[in-house]
Amino acid sequence: MAHREFVSLVHRSTQRDYLARVTQRDKAEIAETAVKYDYDYWDGSRETGYGGYNYDGRWRKVADAMVAAYGLKPGMRVLDVGSGKGFLLHDFCDSVPGLEVAGLDISSYAIAHTMEDIKPFCQAGSAAKLPYPDKHFDLVVSINTLHNLYNYDLHAALQEIERVSRGAKYICVEAYRNEREKVNLMYWQLTCRAFHTPEEWDFVFRQAGYTGDHEFIFFE
Protein backbone atom coordinates (compact mmCIF):
# COMPACT_ATOMS: atom_id res chain seq x y z
CA MET A 1 0.00 0.00 0.00
CA ALA A 2 1.22 3.50 -0.81
CA HIS A 3 0.12 6.79 0.65
CA ARG A 4 -1.13 9.21 -2.01
CA GLU A 5 -2.25 12.82 -1.91
CA PHE A 6 -5.03 13.52 -4.36
CA VAL A 7 -8.09 14.63 -2.38
CA SER A 8 -6.00 16.84 -0.10
CA LEU A 9 -5.79 19.27 -3.02
CA VAL A 10 -9.53 19.87 -2.59
CA HIS A 11 -10.02 19.21 1.13
CA ARG A 12 -7.59 21.84 2.39
CA SER A 13 -9.29 24.60 0.39
CA THR A 14 -12.54 24.35 2.38
CA GLN A 15 -13.12 26.55 5.44
CA ARG A 16 -15.06 24.97 8.32
CA ASP A 17 -16.71 26.39 11.45
CA TYR A 18 -16.61 23.32 13.69
CA LEU A 19 -18.36 24.85 16.69
CA ALA A 20 -21.24 26.20 14.62
CA ARG A 21 -21.87 22.67 13.38
CA VAL A 22 -22.85 21.56 16.91
CA THR A 23 -24.34 24.75 18.36
CA GLN A 24 -26.69 26.11 15.69
CA ARG A 25 -29.01 23.08 15.60
CA ASP A 26 -29.45 19.71 17.27
CA LYS A 27 -26.53 17.78 15.76
CA ALA A 28 -28.20 14.39 16.30
CA GLU A 29 -31.32 15.54 14.47
CA ILE A 30 -29.24 16.86 11.60
CA ALA A 31 -27.29 13.62 11.36
CA GLU A 32 -30.51 11.59 11.24
CA THR A 33 -31.53 13.63 8.23
CA ALA A 34 -28.11 13.44 6.56
CA VAL A 35 -27.80 9.64 6.68
CA LYS A 36 -30.84 9.33 4.44
CA TYR A 37 -28.56 10.64 1.65
CA ASP A 38 -31.52 12.37 0.05
CA TYR A 39 -32.20 15.98 -1.00
CA ASP A 40 -31.21 17.49 2.35
CA TYR A 41 -27.80 15.84 2.27
CA TRP A 42 -26.88 16.81 -1.28
CA ASP A 43 -28.83 19.96 -2.04
CA GLY A 44 -30.26 21.22 1.25
CA SER A 45 -28.52 23.57 3.65
CA ARG A 46 -24.86 23.38 4.63
CA GLU A 47 -26.00 22.21 8.06
CA THR A 48 -27.35 18.92 6.71
CA GLY A 49 -24.69 18.17 4.10
CA TYR A 50 -23.05 19.74 1.08
CA GLY A 51 -25.34 22.76 0.94
CA GLY A 52 -25.91 22.24 -2.78
CA TYR A 53 -23.52 19.85 -4.49
CA ASN A 54 -23.05 21.32 -7.94
CA TYR A 55 -20.33 20.79 -10.51
CA ASP A 56 -17.64 23.48 -10.34
CA GLY A 57 -14.64 21.71 -11.86
CA ARG A 58 -12.73 21.29 -8.61
CA TRP A 59 -12.35 17.53 -9.08
CA ARG A 60 -10.52 17.94 -12.40
CA LYS A 61 -7.19 18.43 -10.63
CA VAL A 62 -7.81 15.20 -8.71
CA ALA A 63 -8.72 13.34 -11.91
CA ASP A 64 -5.65 14.64 -13.73
CA ALA A 65 -3.38 13.64 -10.85
CA MET A 66 -4.83 10.11 -10.84
CA VAL A 67 -4.54 9.82 -14.62
CA ALA A 68 -0.85 10.65 -14.35
CA ALA A 69 -0.20 8.44 -11.32
CA TYR A 70 -1.98 5.35 -12.67
CA GLY A 71 -1.24 5.76 -16.37
CA LEU A 72 -4.88 5.76 -17.45
CA LYS A 73 -5.46 5.43 -21.18
CA PRO A 74 -8.47 5.16 -23.52
CA GLY A 75 -10.19 1.80 -23.22
CA MET A 76 -9.23 1.29 -19.58
CA ARG A 77 -12.00 0.83 -17.01
CA VAL A 78 -12.46 2.95 -13.87
CA LEU A 79 -14.96 2.39 -11.05
CA ASP A 80 -15.90 5.01 -8.48
CA VAL A 81 -17.42 3.47 -5.32
CA GLY A 82 -19.46 6.30 -3.81
CA SER A 83 -19.71 8.23 -7.05
CA GLY A 84 -22.18 10.86 -5.79
CA LYS A 85 -23.35 12.95 -8.74
CA GLY A 86 -20.57 11.69 -10.99
CA PHE A 87 -18.32 14.76 -10.95
CA LEU A 88 -15.04 12.84 -10.68
CA LEU A 89 -16.10 10.36 -13.37
CA HIS A 90 -17.05 13.24 -15.66
CA ASP A 91 -13.61 14.77 -15.16
CA PHE A 92 -11.93 11.41 -15.78
CA CYS A 93 -13.72 11.16 -19.13
CA ASP A 94 -12.85 14.75 -19.96
CA SER A 95 -9.21 14.11 -19.10
CA VAL A 96 -9.01 10.81 -21.01
CA PRO A 97 -11.57 10.54 -23.83
CA GLY A 98 -12.39 6.91 -24.43
CA LEU A 99 -12.03 5.87 -20.80
CA GLU A 100 -14.74 3.42 -19.68
CA VAL A 101 -16.28 4.45 -16.36
CA ALA A 102 -18.74 3.07 -13.85
CA GLY A 103 -20.16 4.54 -10.67
CA LEU A 104 -22.04 3.18 -7.69
CA ASP A 105 -23.63 5.06 -4.79
CA ILE A 106 -25.93 4.14 -1.92
CA SER A 107 -27.98 7.26 -2.65
CA SER A 108 -30.75 6.88 -5.22
CA TYR A 109 -31.08 10.67 -5.12
CA ALA A 110 -27.44 11.12 -6.12
CA ILE A 111 -27.77 8.64 -8.97
CA ALA A 112 -30.93 10.38 -10.20
CA HIS A 113 -29.06 13.68 -10.20
CA THR A 114 -25.81 12.38 -11.67
CA MET A 115 -24.42 14.42 -14.57
CA GLU A 116 -26.23 13.44 -17.76
CA ASP A 117 -23.13 12.25 -19.64
CA ILE A 118 -22.23 9.93 -16.76
CA LYS A 119 -25.69 8.78 -15.59
CA PRO A 120 -25.94 5.78 -17.99
CA PHE A 121 -22.87 4.27 -16.33
CA CYS A 122 -23.96 4.70 -12.71
CA GLN A 123 -26.28 2.78 -10.43
CA ALA A 124 -27.50 2.67 -6.85
CA GLY A 125 -26.05 -0.08 -4.70
CA SER A 126 -23.96 -1.10 -1.72
CA ALA A 127 -20.18 -0.91 -1.53
CA ALA A 128 -20.32 -4.14 0.48
CA LYS A 129 -21.62 -6.07 -2.55
CA LEU A 130 -20.36 -4.64 -5.82
CA PRO A 131 -22.34 -5.80 -8.89
CA TYR A 132 -19.29 -6.29 -11.11
CA PRO A 133 -17.19 -9.30 -12.22
CA ASP A 134 -13.84 -10.21 -10.71
CA LYS A 135 -10.82 -8.27 -11.96
CA HIS A 136 -12.98 -6.05 -14.17
CA PHE A 137 -11.45 -2.60 -13.57
CA ASP A 138 -8.03 -1.11 -14.17
CA LEU A 139 -8.60 1.38 -11.35
CA VAL A 140 -11.10 1.37 -8.49
CA VAL A 141 -11.42 4.54 -6.40
CA SER A 142 -13.51 5.35 -3.35
CA ILE A 143 -13.40 8.86 -1.92
CA ASN A 144 -14.90 9.87 1.43
CA THR A 145 -17.25 6.89 1.42
CA LEU A 146 -15.94 3.88 3.31
CA HIS A 147 -15.77 5.65 6.69
CA ASN A 148 -19.57 5.88 6.46
CA LEU A 149 -19.89 2.11 6.82
CA TYR A 150 -20.23 -0.01 9.94
CA ASN A 151 -17.23 -2.28 10.50
CA TYR A 152 -18.78 -5.41 8.95
CA ASP A 153 -19.76 -3.58 5.75
CA LEU A 154 -16.43 -1.73 5.73
CA HIS A 155 -14.57 -5.04 5.81
CA ALA A 156 -16.74 -6.42 3.01
CA ALA A 157 -16.35 -3.26 0.90
CA LEU A 158 -12.56 -3.40 1.09
CA GLN A 159 -12.64 -7.03 0.00
CA GLU A 160 -15.02 -6.18 -2.83
CA ILE A 161 -12.77 -3.39 -4.09
CA GLU A 162 -9.90 -5.85 -4.06
CA ARG A 163 -11.99 -8.43 -5.93
CA VAL A 164 -13.19 -6.27 -8.83
CA SER A 165 -9.83 -4.63 -9.50
CA ARG A 166 -7.28 -6.12 -11.85
CA GLY A 167 -4.95 -3.20 -11.34
CA ALA A 168 -4.76 -0.11 -9.18
CA LYS A 169 -6.92 0.73 -6.18
CA TYR A 170 -7.20 3.95 -4.20
CA ILE A 171 -9.37 4.92 -1.25
CA CYS A 172 -9.62 8.11 0.80
CA VAL A 173 -11.07 8.10 4.32
CA GLU A 174 -11.32 10.48 7.25
CA ALA A 175 -8.89 9.99 10.14
CA TYR A 176 -7.42 11.78 13.15
CA ARG A 177 -3.93 12.02 14.66
CA ASN A 178 -4.63 13.79 17.95
CA GLU A 179 -7.45 14.80 20.26
CA ARG A 180 -8.10 18.11 18.51
CA GLU A 181 -8.53 16.45 15.14
CA LYS A 182 -10.73 13.78 16.71
CA VAL A 183 -13.02 16.39 18.24
CA ASN A 184 -13.11 18.41 15.02
CA LEU A 185 -14.00 15.28 13.08
CA MET A 186 -16.79 14.42 15.50
CA TYR A 187 -18.10 17.99 15.36
CA TRP A 188 -18.01 18.20 11.56
CA GLN A 189 -19.07 14.73 10.43
CA LEU A 190 -22.70 13.90 9.70
CA THR A 191 -22.57 10.33 8.39
CA CYS A 192 -19.28 8.84 9.65
CA ARG A 193 -19.42 5.41 11.34
CA ALA A 194 -15.69 4.62 11.52
CA PHE A 195 -13.45 6.92 13.59
CA HIS A 196 -9.86 5.70 13.26
CA THR A 197 -6.28 6.88 13.54
CA PRO A 198 -4.02 6.14 10.53
CA GLU A 199 -2.55 3.21 12.44
CA GLU A 200 -6.00 1.77 13.07
CA TRP A 201 -6.91 2.20 9.42
CA ASP A 202 -3.75 0.34 8.43
CA PHE A 203 -4.89 -2.50 10.69
CA VAL A 204 -8.35 -2.51 9.08
CA PHE A 205 -6.78 -2.60 5.61
CA ARG A 206 -4.57 -5.55 6.51
CA GLN A 207 -7.43 -7.48 8.11
CA ALA A 208 -9.50 -7.14 4.94
CA GLY A 209 -6.60 -7.94 2.63
CA TYR A 210 -6.71 -4.54 0.94
CA THR A 211 -3.49 -3.95 -1.04
CA GLY A 212 -4.23 -0.67 -2.82
CA ASP A 213 -3.23 2.93 -2.18
CA HIS A 214 -4.82 5.17 0.41
CA GLU A 215 -5.12 8.74 1.62
CA PHE A 216 -6.29 10.17 4.91
CA ILE A 217 -7.94 13.55 5.31
CA PHE A 218 -7.73 15.33 8.64
CA PHE A 219 -9.80 18.07 10.24
CA GLU A 220 -7.08 20.32 11.59
Is the pLDDT at 190 greater than 90, yes or no? yes
> For residues 116 and 93, is the Cβ–Cβ distance under 8 A?
no
Is the pLDDT at 8 greater than 90, yes or no? no
Confidence at residue 168, expressed as pLDDT on a 0 to 100 scale: 97
Confidence at residue 129, expressed as pLDDT on a 0 to 100 scale: 98
Among 202, 204, 201, 197, CA closest to 182: 197
Which bin fits 84, alpha (ψ -120 to 50), beta or left (φ > 0)? left
Whether the model pTM is above 0.85: yes
pLDDT in tens, 139-174: 999 999 999 999 999 999 999 999 999 999 999 999
Among 131, 174, 127, CA closest to 154: 127
pLDDT bracket for residue 1 (50, 70, 90): confident
Q: What is the mean pLDDT of residues 203-218?
A: 97
Confidence at residue 181, expressed as pLDDT on a 0 to 100 scale: 96
Distance CA 100, CA 174 (A): 28
Is the pLDDT at 110 greater than 60, yes or no? yes
Confidence at residue 154, expressed as pLDDT on a 0 to 100 scale: 98
Buried b (16+ CB within 10 A) or exposed e, 84-117: bbbbbbbbbbebbeebbbbbbbbbebbbebbbee
Residues 6+ apart with CB under 8 A from 206: none
Confidence at residue 3, expressed as pLDDT on a 0 to 100 scale: 94
H-only helix segments in the chain: 8-11, 18-23, 27-34, 39-43, 60-70, 87-95, 108-112, 151-164, 179-188, 198-208
Distance CA 46, CA 172 (A): 22
Average pLDDT, the chain: 95
pLDDT in tens, 60-76: 999 999 999 999 999 99
Q: Which domains does the chain have, with CATH numbers?
A: 8-217 (3.40.50.150)
> For residues 145 and 174, is the Cβ–Cβ distance under 8 A?
no
